[in-house]
A = this chain, B = another copy of it.
């Protein structure tokens, strides 16, 4: 399997607690600017902006220009990439258990 840059940037984006909180906030409250978010969170606007950049790179948020400020909103479709990876792991695991159990059945019978 190729290293899949989108999977990498996605899981990397989800790895930080502040970014997950940003995602939760945007999921609940819709569009917000970096300055608005900075008022809610205990870090500076520039810190928020850095996180938003990472979320943008992971295609987890989109941005819209509104006059002089930029409004960020969630784009949750990309989260399916994470669940797809997890589901893939789980199916591989299940398949392996299945193979193992049929092997044990076979050797028990012989």
Q: Which residues of A contact B (CB under 8 A)?
A: 1, 3, 7-8, 11-12, 14-15, 17, 20, 23-24, 27-30, 74, 76, 79, 82-83, 85-86, 89-90, 92-93, 96, 100
* Complex CA–CA separation, A24 to B79 (angstroms): 19
Measured between beta carbons, the chain B residues less than 8 angstroms from A85 are 20
Whether A89 contacts B14 by the Cβ 8 Å rule is no
9 A-B contact pairs sorted by A residue (CB < 8 Å)? A3-B17, A27-B89, A28-B92, A28-B96, A30-B96, A74-B89, A76-B90, A79-B90, A82-B86
> Could you say how many copies of this chain the assembly holds?
2
CB distance from A9 to the nearest CB of B (A): 10
